[in-house]
Chains A and B, each alone.
Chain A
Amino acid sequence: MTARLLHLVGAAELGTLVVMIAVFVMHSLWVVLTARSAQRRLQQLRREMVRGASAEDRLAAPTSRARLRLYHQVLDELAASISGDGAQWIEQAARDTGLLDQAARWCRSRRWWRRLRGVRAFGLLGAGNDIVPACLGDTHPLVRAAAARWVALHPSPALADRLVAMLDDPERRCRLAAQDVLIRLGAQAAEPLAASLSRVANPGRALALNVATGIADARFLQPGLRAAGDPDPSVRAQAATLLAAVAGDRAEQAILELLHDPSEPVRVAATHGVGVVNSWALAPDLAWQLTDPAWDVRREAALALRRLGPAGRLYLRRALVSPDPFAADMARQVLDLPGATAS
């Protein structure tokens, strides 16, 4: 009985093994044999395209799927490193060869991976104004994130608004994509972002403030000041960083108030912010922070004082004889630093 079972198992294994090895070898053979000719066709198409681009000729529509794939490959290659007029030519070439139609079909597919390919194709080849914005609300996070990237190349106030809304997305991937693109958009994103930060109920405030810090536009002063009084410590900490980036008297005043915040991360951010402002008039406040119970706050204060130059060094030397041993120790560590190597 056992021997018979073993016979059966062995025969099944042998059959499967033969099939798997055959598939493996045939696929390898096919890849190796077609690699050279595929490379040759690719080179030829590249030359045709470059000639076509210079002669401003229209490219012929591909006659087979293989040819369409080749077009896709070459245009993707070119698009990755071309902008301006060249990008317009690529968009036109993609239109002539039917790649944009294909991308549009993919974007409407029920399969998420096809929609993803479609959005990514539009991101590389251009166009898609009438179809990609709808993908910002797609059910699959990868598609939403890809659509967010597309916005970086096709910005508009309405789309910037959508990206600001995406900062509250439940998926980290989408939040990060929106954050990245908004910072890349810079001043173009300032208005919708400031408007969003002015709203009272905004669950993604900390992230929005982080984006605002990356843009550092004066329009964020008011939202920053308001966020400095937020009950959420992570929002206050981010507000301190934003205010340091925006700067100005009112921002400075708000940061100084945050130095006495009960939350340690807020005090760390505020102390770091004072260091960024780099005003010697703030040296006494930084010196006071050397006695903070939190090590990170003391470290930020000491490094900020050191950056202030002679005025800061004076306070550090005074701290060496401070009755607070932690302040004295931190001052000693910072004063030990050779000039050019402070971290």
Chain B
Amino acid sequence: MTVEPLRLVFDVTVVVVIGYFVVANGFWTALFVAAAWQMVQHRRSSAADDTRWLLGSSVLPQVSILVPAHNEAATVGESVRALLTLEYPNLQVVLVNDGSTDGTLQTLVDHFELQPIYPIYRHVVATAAVRALYRSRLYPGLVVVDKENGGKADSLNAGLNLATGALVCAIDADTLIEHDALLQIVQPFLAADDVVASGGTIRVVNGSRVHAGRVIVPRAPRQLIAGLQAVEYLRSFLFGRLGWNRLGGNLIVSGAFGLFKRDALRAIGGYQVDSIGEDMELVVRLRRAGIERGEASRVVFVPEPVAWTEVPVSLRVLGRQRDRWQRGLVDVLWRHQRLAFNRRYGAVGLVVIPYFVLVELLGPVIEGLGVAGLVVGLALQAVDLRFALLFVLAVYGWGLLFTIGALLLDELTSRRYESLADRVLLVCWALIEPFGYRQLTVVWQLRGMVRAARGHTDWGEMTRGGFSAGRNKVRS
């Protein structure tokens, strides 16, 4: 191959990559502007609001918290106790023991004096066999479902069958919810009739001080990988999801903390047990069904309610998680391909799904192509080093602006970190994130896409440190 054709290939690659970054960054700029506007409106409407008023209200819908637990004996007692003391006047906690083999059920029996119950309920959604049902003698609002192992989605479906609340809140067993988060996340349902789901902010708990299932001193993670994820989460929630509120609505409500209309979930058959990205799949199906039936289909993100989650601290585990997330995305977009560029689905079909296809799905491919092209170009001396550096800085600098913008949005509105050191540390993580970590994420995402094409549907195991107990293994 002579230098000229190589140069042509390189130039085409540069144009494609630059085009992609212009489109992607254009989307993100629009999201950022929308998020900032939304945040201003949110602050205005919540100024001087006293949510304690709601504690005395008799018209608040009952909320059933669905907690799937698989081998969580070390932390389940503390987690459930923290849930039972959440500020909400009409609360039911449905914990689903998903075939644990580590004594999770016995721990619950001991902590909460469970006794068997035999309620008459309809199996609206099919699940793995339920062995027994229990209610706590100490806390009548606590119901425990003991069932055969069927995975997280299956457990949530089992909880959905038992839930008596008009709203159900799906969380992970190791999610730490702030004391007033339910009073905040329920707000969209009190404000409008067309809301089917709402989601709150997920923050990274690594490094924070936790006591009795509550984060008592929020700290920015000191560990590199956790720190990078902390800014990534802030960016994703504070301007990504908040921005979508104004640009066509959200397609994702985090599986770690989301609130749904129970009847809407039951009407669509609950969670898909064979989907890897079951939380996104559920929301897309909810919205799709709502639009097709001409019923409620709005999904709202609320920035105030915060749930804390532990993130992986090893590259191996993190890689597996990102691989799975990408496979989940492929799976969801494939299942709901009819929505893409379909006018019938309004903003969802014309804006939201195309964004996920072009930016979230194809983004890693083009970004990988761009990085590989640069390396090849440099090796073959088809491009000079100065140009390559300029290109990388210009492209990743734009992304960095969004990350710092998200931190700024957080700082000016709902900051959680008290000390200056924590905030400065976050900025440091943000400055490092585009160089190395982001490229690694692209590799994991590409691996996920390849594995999706080969039909891999495994979840893989994830090791977490635990908040105050020993290390335990859970499914990520």
Same complex origin of A and B: yes
Binding site for B on A (CB under 8 A): 2-3, 6-7, 9-10, 13-14, 16-17, 20-21, 23-25, 27-29, 31-32, 76, 80, 113, 116-117, 120-121, 123-124, 141-142, 149, 171-173, 176, 179-180, 183-184, 214, 295, 299, 302-303, 330, 333-334, 336-338, 341-343
Q: Which residues of A contact B14 (CB under 8 A)?
A: 2
Contact with A along B101-144 (1 / 0, CB 8 A): 00000000000000111111010000000000001000000000
Asked whether, in the complex, the Cβ of A337 is within 8 Å of the Cβ of B118, the reply is yes
Answer whether A17 and B59 are a contact pair too, CB < 8 Å, given A172-B190, A338-B118: no
Asked whether, in the complex, the Cβ of A176 is within 8 Å of the Cβ of B411, the reply is no
Q: Secondary structure of the A side of the interface?
A: helix
Asked whether, in the complex, the Cβ of B424 is within 8 Å of the Cβ of A172, the reply is no
5 contacts between A and B (CB under 8 A): A25-B427, A32-B420, A117-B48, A121-B48, A337-B118
Closest to A7 in B: B390
Q: Which residues of B contact A116 (CB under 8 A)?
A: 44-45, 47-48
- In angstroms, Cα B121 to Cα A295, docked, is 10
Asked whether, in the complex, the Cβ of A295 is within 8 Å of the Cβ of B122, the reply is yes
- In angstroms, Cα B418 to Cα A342, docked, is 48
- Other-chain contact of B120, A176, A214, A334 (Cβ < 8 Å): A334
Answer whether A172 and B193 are a contact pair too, CB < 8 Å, given A3-B387, A80-B52: yes
Answer whether A10 and B394 are a contact pair too, CB < 8 Å, given A25-B424, A32-B419, A113-B47: yes
- Other-chain contact of A149, B53, B117, B408 (Cβ < 8 Å): B53
Q: Does residue B469 face the partner (Cβ distance < 8 Å to A)?
A: no
A-B interface, 6 closest residue pairs, ranked by CB to CB distance from nearest: A343-B119, A113-B44, A13-B397, A6-B390, A341-B117, A120-B48
Asked whether, in the complex, the Cβ of B390 is within 8 Å of the Cβ of A17, the reply is no
Q: Does residue B368 face the partner (Cβ distance < 8 Å to A)?
A: no
Asked whether, in the complex, the Cβ of A113 is within 8 Å of the Cβ of B45, the reply is yes
Contact with A along B416-443 (1 / 0, CB 8 A): 0011100110010000000000000000
Q: Which residues of B contact A20 (CB under 8 A)?
A: 401, 404-405, 408
Q: Which residues of A contact B56 (CB under 8 A)?
A: 184
Q: Which residues of B contact A176 (CB under 8 A)?
A: 59, 190
Asked whether, in the complex, the Cβ of B424 is within 8 Å of the Cβ of A28, the reply is yes
- In angstroms, Cα B191 to Cα A330, docked, is 39
- In angstroms, Cα B58 to Cα A3, docked, is 65
Asked whether, in the complex, the Cβ of A180 is within 8 Å of the Cβ of B397, the reply is no
Q: Which residues of B contact A183 (CB under 8 A)?
A: 58-59
Q: Secondary structure of the B side of the interface?
A: helix
Q: Does residue B8 face the partner (Cβ distance < 8 Å to A)?
A: no
Q: Does residue B468 face the partner (Cβ distance < 8 Å to A)?
A: no
- In angstroms, Cα B47 to Cα A302, docked, is 49
Answer whether A120 and B120 are a contact pair too, CB < 8 Å, given A10-B393, A32-B419, A176-B59: no
Asked whether, in the complex, the Cβ of A28 is within 8 Å of the Cβ of B387, the reply is no
Q: Which residues of A contact B45 (CB under 8 A)?
A: 113, 116, 142
- Other-chain contact of A29, B58, B193, B404, B420 (Cβ < 8 Å): B420
- In angstroms, Cα B398 to Cα A173, docked, is 40
Q: Does residue B391 face the partner (Cβ distance < 8 Å to A)?
A: yes
A152: min CB distance to chain B, Å: 9
Contact with A along B52-70 (1 / 0, CB 8 A): 1100111100000000000
Answer whether A172 and B191 are a contact pair too, CB < 8 Å, given A13-B394, A120-B48, A343-B119: yes
B128: min CB distance to chain A, Å: 21
A95: min CB distance to chain B, Å: 18
- Other-chain contact of B401, A13, A330, A336 (Cβ < 8 Å): A13
- Other-chain contact of A6, B53, B122, B190, B391 (Cβ < 8 Å): B391
- Other-chain contact of A76, B48, B398, B415 (Cβ < 8 Å): B48
B50: min CB distance to chain A, Å: 6
Q: Which residues of B contact A16 (CB under 8 A)?
A: 401
Q: Which residues of B contact A2 (CB under 8 A)?
A: 14, 18, 387
Answer whether A80 and B401 are a contact pair too, CB < 8 Å, given A3-B387, A173-B190, A180-B57: no
- In angstroms, Cα B393 to Cα A17, docked, is 12
- In angstroms, Cα B394 to Cα A13, docked, is 7
- In angstroms, Cα B117 to Cα A14, docked, is 64
Closest to A119 in B: B48
B44: min CB distance to chain A, Å: 4
A263: min CB distance to chain B, Å: 17
Q: Does residue B1 face the partner (Cβ distance < 8 Å to A)?
A: no
Q: Does residue B412 face the partner (Cβ distance < 8 Å to A)?
A: yes
Q: Which residues of B contact A336 (CB under 8 A)?
A: 118
Q: Does residue B49 face the partner (Cβ distance < 8 Å to A)?
A: yes
B423: min CB distance to chain A, Å: 4
Asked whether, in the complex, the Cβ of B411 is within 8 Å of the Cβ of A14, the reply is no
Q: Which residues of B contact A123 (CB under 8 A)?
A: 50
Q: Does residue B192 face the partner (Cβ distance < 8 Å to A)?
A: yes
Contact with A along B392-415 (1 / 0, CB 8 A): 011001101100110110011001
- In angstroms, Cα B408 to Cα A149, docked, is 34
B314: min CB distance to chain A, Å: 30
Answer whether A28 and B390 are a contact pair too, CB < 8 Å, given A113-B45, A214-B58, A334-B120: no
Asked whether, in the complex, the Cβ of A21 is within 8 Å of the Cβ of B404, the reply is yes
- Other-chain contact of B427, A24, A113, A342 (Cβ < 8 Å): A24
- In angstroms, Cα B411 to Cα A31, docked, is 10
Most chain A C-beta atoms within 10 Å of own C-beta, residue among B48, B58, B119, B405:
B48
Asked whether, in the complex, the Cβ of A124 is within 8 Å of the Cβ of B190, the reply is no
Q: Which residues of A contact B415 (CB under 8 A)?
A: 31
- Other-chain contact of B397, A14, A27, A32 (Cβ < 8 Å): A14
Q: A25-B424, A183-B58, A343-B135 are in contact. List 16 more A-B contacts (CB 8 A).
A: A3-B387, A6-B391, A10-B393, A14-B397, A20-B401, A20-B404, A23-B408, A24-B411, A27-B411, A116-B45, A117-B47, A124-B48, A173-B190, A184-B56, A214-B59, A338-B118
